[in-house]
Amino acid sequence: MTHDAPGAGQNTSAEASDTLRVLLADDQALLRGAFRTLLDSAGDITVVGEAGDGREAVALTRELRPDVVIMDIRMPDMDGLTATLKICADPDLRATRVLILTTYETDEYIAQALRAGASGFIGKGIEAQGLLDAVRTIAAGDTLLSPAATRSLVARFLATPVDTPPRHPGQLAALTPREREMVALVATGLSNVEIADRMYLSPFTVRAHVQRAMTKLEARDRAQLVVIAYQTGLAGAAPNGGAGQV
């Protein structure tokens, strides 16, 4: 278990408020070191601690209150999924978001991570800039799934019965045409930035549309929005892109 003491290499006062504080949880010290170097190289991100297993991750999260915990799954003593559940179930840690970063992008792990309360699920094959963007996305309150995780989530949903009745396409009536476009694109696994690039909109505008759609459809997170898109038949209706009125 390692963490930085207050004042030891950390930003303070007004500067600290603009810096995203990250806790790394991975049982491989070499990987933690590589991730720390990458994250600390970004001007708006700083690593405040490292944990070698899930139990240490929970303890350090309670002590340091990071904005984002980057969590591996397979770790000794307590695995990352159990640690995620404990962190997300703690009302004192509501402001902390968990990003699962793993080699194992299986449908079972993805489903368990989302049920535990993780805000994102990405593979360790992600590029350096992608990891930095993922941390910023999670910290901003968005849910992030890699394309592989999105495909696995959808495949799992289509292959197994659900507890709730299927949604009828008529339930989409509350959405505006633009919101329908956004939901259809979300269902393909695109991030808000990628959707913005495709539709020639600002990421802020895309996020606003997606959040309004989630509210109208009573989706608790982006993952559930993907499932709703498939339940209603909206998935697959994503436009090819192009400018238009918002």
Give the Å distances, CA to CA, from 36 to 77, 154, 169, 214, 229: 23, 33, 46, 34, 37
Q: Which of 132, 155, 178 is the last residue of a domain?
A: 155
225: domain range? 163-231
155-194 per-position pLDDT tens digit:
666 555 555 555 566 778 889 999 999 999 988 877 788 8
Query: What CATH number is given to the structural domain containing 101?
Result: 3.40.50.2300
55-91 per-position pLDDT tens digit:
999 999 999 999 999 999 999 999 999 999 999 999 9
Q: Which of 155, 186, 219 is the last residue of a domain?
A: 155
In a domain, 183, yes or no: yes
Q: How far is it, in rounded angstroms, from Cα 210 to Cα 239? A: 15
In a domain, 150, yes or no: yes
The tally of domains found in the chain comes to 2
Q: Could you tell me if 74 and 145 lie in one domain?
A: yes
In a domain, 24, yes or no: yes
pLDDT for 37 beyond 70 = yes
Give pTM, 2 decimals: 0.67
**Residue 134 C-alpha from the chain's centroid:** 7
Q: Could you tell me if 170 and 144 lie in one domain?
A: no
pLDDT score recorded for residue 236: 57
pLDDT score recorded for residue 62: 97
Q: Which of 155, 187, 203 is the last residue of a domain?
A: 155
Q: Could you tell me if 39 and 76 lie in one domain?
A: yes
What are the DSSP calls for 172-240, one per residue?
GGGS-HHHHHHHHHHTTT--HHHHHHHHT--HHHHHHHHHHHHHHHT-SSHHHHHHHHHHTT-TT----
In a domain, 103, yes or no: yes
